[in-house]
Amino acid sequence: MKTLQENLAALATLPLGLHGQDFLLTWEKTDEEIRALTLVADSLARLHRARKSIRVFDTGLAVSIFRDNSTRTRFSFASAANALGLAVADLDEGKSQIAHGETVRETANMIAFTAETIGIRDDMYLGEGNRYMREVAAAVQEGYERGVLHQRPSVINLQCDLDHPTQSVADLMHLRNHFGSLEQLRGRKIAMTWAYSPSYGKPLSVPQGIIGLLTRFGMHVTLAHPEGYGLIPDVVDLARRNAGRSGGSFALAGSMEEAFQDADVVYPKSWAPYAVMQQRTPLLKRGDQAGLKALERDCLAQNARYQAWECDARKMKLTREGRGIYLHCLPADISGVSCERGEVTADVFEQHRLATYQEASQKPFVIAAMILLSRVRDPVATLRALIEGTPVKS
């Protein structure tokens, strides 16, 4: 109860402008708004674990649109919506009228009549996912302004081609809990490194989300990858600017060993090169199966040159006092378990497995906090009512 009251007191000091807003990229939100998000997520998690209701809505829909496969994010969105009192409706595009030519503008309004929020995952097409989310957001805004919708649902990015906000903020929450506070992250080193995978085409959004967010908290962030596996240059520049403002640092490294040296946290994760994702998008849009197979063949051959980029016990010993924290968005490519050779050895993953599950457990509360802050005018009063068990006025 003391921590909850401290969260409320801290939240009350922050200038917030999140009501009625979407959550599409972490770098579009102020430091104060990110801090508020962590305070609300922590409060909701504490209440839920104490078996207290966090129901804020009496009715309403949370609409999900998943254009790529998902386990953690899909169920986290459903769990968050349900806990807040919303019913979840998943838009199956194959069962909708989209195949008959229904426009994004029309679909967005038709699914939004009683919706409080729309969660979208669209990470397959570089240059398309975030653009699609903004098209949906613009459509519901027009519907609201023109009187078609009596309320304007918020749009939440459940992963796009640029960023994975629910994942990066869940990672931030996990580190906050481990080290004690956001302030305790200052001066800590995190290695965001590419790791080998026997597959190709994995989005850039997780590593971009990490370097785009954690550089804002005074951390020393090192991005490591083989030559040719760079991220979107604009996001790398953003991370460098963030580090300069926060008093942290941002560096590039050419090996996993260099990045792991004295790191407090490591995040070995495979992703496709930016140049490959640029080639892949037009092939996917054209349905060019022959071109996709040729690109995959070339990329897998390129990946195979870097199988030594594997998180193993030897590299983990390079971390600070050999006790670095291992992060992963899951599922990890585990050598000898899910694949012959992958991102991480089985012994290292097993040592950190339950901690990665704890990391993932932050996501439902992060999503719930995003929904609450975007839909509730007075989050302090709402949380106080939840703590006291009195009726919530949303």
Label residue 185 by pLDDT band (50, 70, 90).
very high
Strand partners of residue 224? 193, 253
122-146 pLDDT, tens digit each: 998 999 999 999 999 999 999 999 9
Is the confidence at residue 344, as pLDDT, over 90?
A: yes
Q: For residues 240 and 190, give the distance between their C-alpha atoms in angstroms, rounded to a whole number.
A: 14
Whole-number average pLDDT of the chain: 96
Helix (H, G, I), strand (E, B) or coil at 127: coil
Label residue 315 by pLDDT band (50, 70, 90).
very high
44-97 pLDDT, tens digit each: 999 999 999 999 999 999 999 999 999 999 999 999 999 999 999 999 888 888
Tokens, residue 375? 């839909």
Ordered domains of the chain (ranges, CATH): 2-163+364-388 (3.40.50.1370), 166-360 (3.40.50.1370)
Which pLDDT score, from 0 to 100, does residue 93 have? 85
Q: Residue 140: which residues within 8 A CB-CB, separation 6 or more?
A: 108, 109, 112, 118, 149, 152, 153, 155
Look up tokens 């809990």; give the residue.
Answer: 177
Half-sphere exposure of 64 (CA within 13 A, CB side): 23
**Model pTM score:** 0.96
Q: For residues 286 and 284, give the distance between their C-alpha atoms in angstroms, rounded to a whole number.
A: 5
88-100 pLDDT, tens digit each: 999 988 888 887 7
250-261 pLDDT, tens digit each: 999 999 999 999
DSSP H or E segment with residue 280: helix 274-286
Of 120, 106, 104, the closest CA to residue 22 belongs to 120
Tokens, residue 384? 């106080």
Stretch 260-274: mean pLDDT:
97
Q: For residues 136 and 392, give the distance between their C-alpha atoms in angstroms, rounded to a whole number.
A: 29
Label residue 394 by pLDDT band (50, 70, 90).
low
